[in-house]
Amino acid sequence: MSANHPYISICIPAYKRVNDLSRLFDSIVIQSFPDFEVIVTDDTPDDSVSQLCTLYQNKFTLYYFRNTHQLGTPENWNEAIRKAKGEWIKLMHDDDWFSSGRSLDIFYNESLKHPECSFIFCAYQNFHDGKVIFGRTLTHSQERLLQHDPQDLISKNLIGPPSVVMHKTDRNIVYDRKMKWMVDIDYYIRYLLYKPGFRYLSEFLVNVGLNESQVTQQVIKDPKIVLPENLRVFNKLHPSIFKKIRNYDYGWRLVRNYGIRTEKDASELLRLHPITEKIPSPVLQMIRSQRYLPESLLKIGVLSKLCMFYSFVVYRITGN
């Protein structure tokens, strides 16, 4: 393809982490696959990222854009994708990097072998302080589960962070700008429902950096963010998704872990973070079931599971 129409656009929403971004750039320099562009959209208030990009301008095709105002997560992701001209999008967070010089080549070859699929993702390793913490792979049973219904991603992120994904460019699907915590899950579900079919690569092609400055680390324990975002995703799904016990159990633990004892508790969190209007009926069933149970009992795993199962059966029978 020509420079105006590269096969892959590597989209990097940048914010301050110059050392991490340099590591990512170095992993791009060594890629054996040549038909790509790099798009950097920058939320950084100073010139540090701009100066770094200048150093790499002659090493690969790189386009740098300073945002006129700080967009934040995930709108900066969307902005990078909007600037892309490639047939495929490879979003890369600035603290992640390619683990091999063949990573893009492997993604590319998979896209050629399976033209019916527009979504490809890979296994990955998590790093902290320069050391591998663990690797994430997908089992055959998990792959079949995802093939059957991508909505099951609500109970477990079987794909991983956006940096492990490459998908075809489609302007009709964007990351939900109202989200921070569930934004990737929400996007994957909508993309795979809109364009069914994916390919999974079992090789570790991407390394994922873990650090305390990440948005996910900042909001993971904040019920004002986590609960409303989950409810927003639930409201986009078909209600039958909670007819599966794994998804009902996920919702049950969400209500229990964030101390939602009444519908008023949930409504108050929605008032503080008004990104959705409705509490889905399965969640109301979970709240009603837990309301009169002692919190000490709910903290005992086996007893909580038994209570969840009873509530699940009632929901399956009554539908509310």
The pLDDT value given to residue 130: 83
Q: What is the architecture of the domain spanning 8-216?
A: Alpha-Beta Complex (3.90)
Q: Find the helix or strand (DSSP H, E) in which 181 lies.
A: none
Q: What residues have CB less than 8 Å from 289, skipping those under 6 apart?
A: 307, 308, 310, 311, 314
Q: What residues have CB less than 8 Å from 301, skipping those under 6 apart?
A: none
| Gap between the Cα atoms of 203 and 88, Å rounded | 20
The mean pLDDT of 157-186, rounded to a whole number, is 95
Domain positions in the chain: 8-216, 221-318
pLDDT digits (tens, 9 = 90+) for 160-170: 999 999 999 99
Taking each helix axis from N to C end, the angle separating 245-257 and 281-291, rounded to the nearest 10 degrees, works out to 60
Whole-number average pLDDT of the chain: 93
The mean pLDDT of 257-263, rounded to a whole number, is 92
| Gap between the Cα atoms of 165 and 149, Å rounded | 18
Residue 23: what are its φ and ψ, rounded to 5°? -60, -45
pLDDT digits (tens, 9 = 90+) for 28-83: 999 999 999 999 999 999 999 999 999 999 999 999 999 999 999 999 999 999 99
pLDDT digits (tens, 9 = 90+) for 19-42: 999 999 999 999 999 999 999 999
